[in-house]
Structure 1
Amino acid sequence: MIYKRPISIEKLNPGTEEWETYLPLLHANINKKKPDNEYLNAGALQSQAEKVFRIRYNPALKAIDGNTQLYRIVYDNRHYNIVDYDDFEERHKEVRLLGVT
């Protein structure tokens, strides 16, 4: 697996309610989960992009498991809310994060 796309992960500071850098430079393999979803919100057509970010395991990533709402991915100047964390069979080889804009 080639991890060549630079990403960072931010964490929400509950005291200030501001996003702070948690892991500043990771490299990921990135794929679309499925075609971008379009939905109607307040009379306007909205688009929702889902991407799967595959990252080499890092012990600091474990904090995301069960707390996905406190973390987000920054990739290509876009923010992706993390909605799923997967350390397949807890092998600690690769983590898959599902990000949604």
Structure 2
Amino acid sequence: MARVYDRPIVIQKIDEITEQWTDCFKLHAKINKSKTDNEYLNAGAVQGKRTLTFEVRYFAELEAISFDTQGYRILYNNVPFNIKDFDDYMLQHKTVKLMGVSY
């Protein structure tokens, strides 16, 4: 069964001078819930952060994210996700999994 990359996402990069996010890549991803979803207590209130895995087809420009995950983020359904992990499985350059955590 073929993988379905049917969810549109935008990868944004922060401009270090203006501190504004700008669109870098518009992609289609296969999205899955990560096993690391968690809830935590903050000042007595339960807050949940959603953790998703975004799998996209590899292209060379994605390599920049692997060295600077803090300078990029994923926008999915108008919700920003911090990129916490970049996985190009065994450096095969076929697909890349990005783990994103909502703000």
Give the TM-score normalised by the residue count of structure 2.
0.92
2:93 counterpart SS class? coil
Structure 2 partner of 1:13: 15
Report the TM-score when normalising by structure 1: 0.94
Aligned mates of 1:15, 1:35 — CA distance in 2: 33
C-alpha separation in 2, matches of 1:42 and 1:18: 30
* Cα distance in 2 for residues equivalent to 1:96 and 1:60: 14
Query: CA shift at 1:35, angstroms?
Result: 6.5
Residue 30 of structure 2: aligned partner: 29
Count residues with an aligned counterpart: 100
Structure 2: how far apart are the matches of 1:11 and 1:43? 34
The aligned counterpart of 1:41 is 42
Q: Which runs of 4+ in 1 moved over 2 A?
A: none
Within 2, Cα distance between the matches of 1:90 and 1:53? 17
CA distance in 2, matches of 1:77, 1:91: 31
Residue ranges of structure 2 left out of the alignment (5+ in a row): none
2:101 pairs with 1:96: no
Give the whole-Å Cα distance in 1 for the aligned partners of 2:4 and 2:17. Answer: 37
5+ unaligned residues in a row in structure 1: which ranges? none
- Per the alignment, residue 65 of structure 2 pairs with 64
User: Which digits, 9 at most, give the CA deviation of each residue in 1:60-92, with x for residues without a partner?
Assistant: 110000210110000111111000000011111
Which stretch shifts more, 48-57 or 28-37?
Answer: 28-37
